[in-house]
Amino acid sequence: MNLTWLYVPADRPERFDKAVTSGADVVIIDLEDSVAPSRKEEARRNAVAYLRGGAPAVHVRINDPATDEGQLDLRALEGLPMAGVRVPKVESPAAVDLVDLDAPIHALLESAAGVVNAVAIAAHPRVAGVALGEQDLIAQLSLTDEAALDQLRIRAVLAAAAVGLPPVPMSVYANVADDEGLLASTRRGRGFGLFGRTAIHPRQLPVIREAFRPSGEEVAAAREIVEAAESAVDVGAVALPDGRLVDAPIITRARRTLALAERLAL
């Protein structure tokens, strides 16, 4: 599963290769929010040239497909190789049908309607993942407390899990200079079942990885569970040395913890 996602503005083509070599699991060339209206066409040309030039597999965030800019994006990107397309402002499954690109769709839920319809959107056969657009939601709903965002996050987590999609990554943290805030916010999201986070600068990537790194105590506990499960023979629940019983879901979670720790070189 992808842990780090890095946006790069499509009107800054000199940053494309740097983003690809930044260590991010997914690079997203952005045609939408990070590009000024006067530079949309230039951004489109940059993205098309990069994709045609044999670039590594990247995602592209298009403009709202219900707008003229979004339709221009779709026509320009038709037939080009992409690892995924991120679709903003998705409020219903019908919005997904507007995207005719041959790439997995990641639907961004950025409004009250999008969150309310999250399960139906996630269940669309072309949707490969969902994520929240938290800054848009904060603006629309006039939110001032992160606890309110937590309610929206858990709805997205439930929607993805209900239809078997990958875990939901967190939205961007806007203050690039605030590593402590990013770390605390990301750890909070981890507690709500979110996995991974999108970034707007490469310096945020190691902080995101650190937030999802299992602690030494978590690794030790997971290893104890997995070792007990591997030594057991044909039993439903496994007894740990201290007398606790753990069953299949707990064992599966322990294996995930060990795999993540190994991936992050703990």
Domain boundary among the residues 177, 192, 212 is at 212
CB atoms inside a 10 Å sphere around CB 162: 12
Instruction: Read off the pLDDT band of 17 (50, 70, 90).
Output: very high
Instruction: Verify that 221 and 246 share a domain, yes or no.
Output: yes
Instruction: Verify that 80 and 141 share a domain, yes or no.
Output: yes
Binding-site residues from annotation: 61, 110, 136
Instruction: Read off the pLDDT band of 159 (50, 70, 90).
Output: very high
Instruction: Verify that 166 and 196 share a domain, yes or no.
Output: yes
Query: Residue 89's domain is classified under what CATH number?
Result: 3.20.20.60
In terms of DSSP bridges, do strands 59-61 and 26-30 run parallel, antiparallel, or are they unpaired?
parallel
Instruction: Verify that 242 and 179 share a domain, yes or no.
Output: no
Q: What are phi and psi of 109, to 5 degrees?
A: -95, 105
Binding-site residues from annotation for Mg(2+): 110, 136
pLDDT of the residue at 92: 97
Q: What are phi and psi of 257, to 5 degrees?
A: -60, -45
Instruction: Verify that 118 and 201 share a domain, yes or no.
Output: yes
Q: What is the mean pLDDT of residues 80-85?
A: 96
CB atoms inside a 10 Å sphere around CB 55: 18
> What b-and-e string marks burial along 169-182, b requiring 16 or more CB atoms within 10 Å of the CB?
bbbbbeeeeeeeeb
Instruction: Verify that 125 and 223 share a domain, yes or no.
Output: no
Range of the domain at 228: 216-263
pLDDT of the residue at 239: 67
For residue 110, which of 38, 175, 61 has the smallest C-alpha distance? 61
Instruction: Read off the pLDDT band of 146 (50, 70, 90).
Output: confident
Cβ atoms of 72 and 92 within 8 Å: the answer is: no
Domain boundary among the residues 212, 230, 254 is at 212
Res 152 pLDDT > 60: yes
Res 36 pLDDT > 60: yes
Q: What is the mean pLDDT of residues 50-64?
A: 92
Instruction: Verify that 110 and 162 share a domain, yes or no.
Output: yes
The model's pLDDT over 200-209, given as tens digits with 9 standing for 90+, comes to: 999 999 999 9
DSSP state, residue 202: G
Binding-site residues from annotation for substrate: 61, 110
pLDDT of the residue at 243: 64
